[in-house]
């Protein structure tokens, strides 16, 4: 079944019920009431070489005045922005202050499996995990998040995610803005749902399990629809899609271009202008935006074509404004208010980094993966007939099994992987590697966002990647590959491999 047909079918199933409950507006629609963009603290570990993290329970208001129970690293919700230097070792001390097990994965760090923090490395409540991370990769914006099988979706949704920047001290030479919170903004974009009292809501209806959970409010760094002040200059935005399932189509309401300088795994040779950028869960993009004109502008996102259509999710979830959000076109993400301060970087750099080498053409091996959504039949039907639980998903016909390693890969080799999706688009992520996209839905020359080195790619039909395996991973602490729609991952759309 292809995506269009799948969406049509599930929409038809959903129209059977009415959706009269959707008539509520958003609480934060009026710009004057919009909160300022929160700037998570920057933890620069360059000098200390140490990173202390505590996973903790929190109470966070999300601007509504109502307190929600949340989770975070060192804070109520989300975590700090960690900045490390290329070439240094970072000694982590992570205390699990939760009352449940927790694994924490460094998404985008090229580190060995034994410190990767996948589901095999969950730590008990009250326990401490002390991996040493050898940081040896080009500058990039990576992140870290909960990865406790099968509770990743809920734990990340509650707030267990932070940003991990790798720096090499050469951004001045490159002509790039890099002053955190001044002309360099790290933006963790997430969608969340709130119940009528304004409390964070994560109740999964069948549609949420099938399509992944989508919220009707867009949060940046934990605040709904915030606004930011910045100098009248060239500003750098580090965009992370930290959502469970939503795919963003980001653009400015006045059409101003975004100049892409990096994606998941490092800088591009030169900025590439785009007016709209797609960002799937787990992906990162760094862009420069020109605010020298001093005019206000709004970053907005277009509808997510992976969610089926208006009515269905609102009906299935029975929650207030989901359906109305789906009916709308663009949703606001962040409004920018350039102020009068003096510009530091006042022109776009022409070049940023070395030319990319041509993608590899010789491969040690070819592998093929299909991302399967409904092993064992339609769960909706099972559910209607009194069955329980959600769908069982898998890769190559098998759901994830902690006890069974799926693939063995040679250390130091390059492989050709083909990944195919059906029914929905799936963001496919591989731990411990970076890869080049050789072909995607636009054919043999991948779309703009798929240039450069990546660790997560949206599979819309079929994608081919060339993967370099430079990090070892044992059978005890293997690397994972999975769909980064977190409800899909938890439902079994994941596999693991060792590298030796």
**Residue 12: DSSP 8-state:** H
**Tokens matching residue 165:** 């920047």
If the CB atoms of residues 61 and 474 are measured against ligand C2O, the closer one turns out to be 474
CB of 493 to Cu ion, least distance (A): 5
DSSP helix/strand/coil, 329? coil
Binding site for ligand C2O (CB under 6 A): 105, 107, 145, 147, 282, 429, 431, 480, 482, 484
Output the 3-class SS for 185-220. EEEEEEEEEECCCCCEECCCCHHHHHHCCCCCEEEE
Rounded to whole angstroms, how far apart are CA atoms 140 and 249? 22
Is residue 250 within 8 Å of 360, Cβ to Cβ?
no
Q: Which one of Cu ion, ligand C2O, none interacts with residue 60, CB within 5 to 8 A by kind? A: none
The residue number whose beta carbon is nearest to ligand C2O equals 107
Does the footprint of Cu ion cover residue 454 (CB under 5 A)? no
If the CB atoms of residues 147 and 416 are measured against ligand C2O, the closer one turns out to be 147
Does the footprint of Cu ion cover residue 484 (CB under 5 A)? no
If the CB atoms of residues 83 and 107 are measured against ligand C2O, the closer one turns out to be 107
Please provide residue 415's backbone torsions phi and psi, each rounded to the nearest 5 degrees.
-120, 160
One residue of 26, 60, 431, 434 binding Cu ion per CB under 5 A: 431
CB of 144 to ligand C2O, least distance (A): 8
The CA dihedral of 439, 445, 450, 455, to the nearest 10 degrees, is 40
Rounded to whole angstroms, how far apart are CA atoms 100 and 111? 26
Q: Which one of Cu ion, ligand C2O, none interacts with residue 282, CB within 5 to 8 A by kind? A: ligand C2O
Q: Which one of ligand C2O, Cu ion, none interacts with residue 426, CB within 5 to 8 A by kind? A: Cu ion
If the CB atoms of residues 237 and 485 are measured against Cu ion, the closer one turns out to be 485
If the CB atoms of residues 120 and 320 are measured against ligand C2O, the closer one turns out to be 120
If the CB atoms of residues 140 and 335 are measured against ligand C2O, the closer one turns out to be 140
Does the footprint of Cu ion cover residue 53 (CB under 5 A)? no
If the CB atoms of residues 26 and 145 are measured against ligand C2O, the closer one turns out to be 145
Binding range to Cu ion, per CB under 5 A, among 85-93, 251-259, 430-438, 467-475:
430-438
CB of 119 to ligand C2O, least distance (A): 8
CB of 473 to ligand C2O, least distance (A): 13
CB of 162 to ligand C2O, least distance (A): 12
Rounded to whole angstroms, how far apart are CA atoms 299 and 309? 23
Does the footprint of Cu ion cover residue 232 (CB under 5 A)? no
Q: Which one of ligand C2O, Cu ion, none interacts with residue 482, CB within 5 to 8 A by kind? A: ligand C2O
One residue of 120, 251, 284, 426 binding Cu ion per CB under 5 A: 426
Burial 357-380 (b: 16+ CB within 10 A, else e): eeeeeeeeeebebebbbbbeebbb
If the CB atoms of residues 359 and 399 are measured against ligand C2O, the closer one turns out to be 399
CB of 105 to Cu ion, least distance (A): 5
Q: Which one of Cu ion, ligand C2O, none interacts with residue 483, CB within 5 to 8 A by kind? A: Cu ion
Rounded to whole angstroms, how far apart are CA atoms 290 and 207? 40
Q: Which one of Cu ion, ligand C2O, none interacts with residue 315, CB within 5 to 8 A by kind? A: none
Burial 396-432 (b: 16+ CB within 10 A, else e): eeebbeeeebbbebeeeebbbbbbbbbbbbbbbbbbb
One residue of 409, 483, 486, 494 binding Cu ion per CB under 5 A: 483
Burial 38-73 (b: 16+ CB within 10 A, else e): bebeebebeeeeebebbbbebebbbbbeebbebbbb
If the CB atoms of residues 121 and 307 are measured against ligand C2O, the closer one turns out to be 121
Binding residues for Cu ion, how many (CB under 5 A)?
Answer: 6
Q: Which one of Cu ion, ligand C2O, none interacts with residue 227, CB within 5 to 8 A by kind? A: none
Return the number of other C-beta atoms located less than 10 Å from residue 157's C-beta.
26
Binding range to Cu ion, per CB under 5 A, among 46-54, 119-127, 420-428, 471-479:
420-428
If the CB atoms of residues 10 and 498 are measured against ligand C2O, the closer one turns out to be 498
Residue 496, Cα to own-chain centre: how many angstroms? Answer: 20
DSSP string covering 250-308, please?
EEETT---EEEEEETTEEEEEEEEESEEEE-TT-EEEEEEE-TT---EEEEE---TTS-
Site for Cu ion in 101-130 (CB under 5 A): 107
DSSP helix/strand/coil, 352? coil
Residues that bind Cu ion (CB under 5 A): 107, 426, 431, 483, 485, 488
């Amino acid at each position: 079944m292809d995506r269009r047909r799948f969406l049509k079918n599930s929409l038809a199933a959903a129209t059977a019920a009415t959706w009269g409950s959707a008539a509520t507006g958003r609480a934060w629609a009026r710009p004057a009431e919009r909160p300022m963009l929160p700037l998570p603290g920057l933890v620069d570990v360059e000098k200390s070489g140490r990173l202390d993290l505590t996973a903790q329970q929190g109470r966070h208001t999300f601007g509504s005045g109502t307190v929600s129970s949340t989770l975070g690293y060192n804070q109520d919700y989300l975590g700090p922005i960690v900045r490390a230097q290329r070439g240094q070792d970072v000694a982590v001390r992570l205390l699990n202050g939760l009352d449940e097990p927790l694994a924490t994965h460094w998404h985008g760090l090229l580190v060995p499996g034994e410190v990767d923090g996948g589901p095999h490395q969950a730590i008990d409540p009250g326990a401490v995990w002390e991996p040493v991370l050898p940081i040896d990769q080009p500058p990039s914006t990576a992140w870290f998040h909960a990865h406790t099988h099968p509770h990743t979706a809920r734990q990340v949704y509650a707030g267990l995610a932070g940003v991990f920047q790798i720096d090499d001290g050469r951004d001045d030479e490159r002509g790039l803005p890099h002053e955190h919170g001044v002309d360099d903004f790290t933006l963790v974009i997430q969608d969340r749902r709130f119940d009528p009292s304004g409390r964070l809501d994560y109740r999964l209806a069948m549609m949420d399990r099938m399509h992944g959970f989508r919220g009707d409010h867009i949060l940046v760094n934990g605040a709904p629809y915030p606004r930011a002040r910045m100098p009248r200059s060239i500003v750098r935005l580090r965009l992370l899609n930290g959502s469970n399932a939503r795919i963003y189509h980001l653009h400015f309401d006045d059409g101003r271009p975004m100049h892409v300088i990096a994606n998941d795994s490092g800088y591009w040779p030169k900025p590439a202008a785009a007016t709209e950028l797609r960002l799937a869960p787990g992906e990162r993009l760094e862009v420069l935006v020109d605010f020298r004109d001093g005019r206000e502008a709004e970053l907005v996102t277009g509808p997510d074509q992976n969610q089926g259509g208006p009515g269905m999710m609102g009906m299935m979830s029975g929650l207030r404004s989901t359906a109305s959000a789906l009916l709308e076109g663009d949703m606001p993400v962040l409004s920018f208010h350039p102020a009068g301060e003096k510009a530091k970087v006042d022109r776009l750099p022409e070049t940023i980094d070395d030319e990319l080498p041509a993608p590899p053409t010789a491969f040690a091996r070819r592998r093929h993966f299909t991302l399967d959504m409904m092993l064992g039949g339609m769960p909706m039907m099972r559910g209607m007939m009194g069955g329980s639980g959600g769908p069982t998903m898998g890769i190559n016909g098998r759901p994830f099994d902690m006890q069974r390693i799926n693939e063995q890969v040679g250390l130091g080799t390059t492989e050709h992987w083909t990944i195919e999706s059906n029914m929905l688009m799936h963001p496919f992520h591989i731990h411990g590697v970076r890869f080049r996209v050789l072909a995607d839905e636009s054919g043999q020359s991948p779309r703009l966002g798929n240039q450069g080195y990546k660790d997560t790619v949206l599979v819309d039909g079929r994608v081919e990647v060339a993967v370099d395996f430079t990090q070892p991973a044992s059978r005890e602490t293997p690397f994972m590959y999975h769909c980064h729609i977190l409800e899909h991952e938890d439902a079994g759309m994941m596999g693991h491999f060792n590298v030796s």
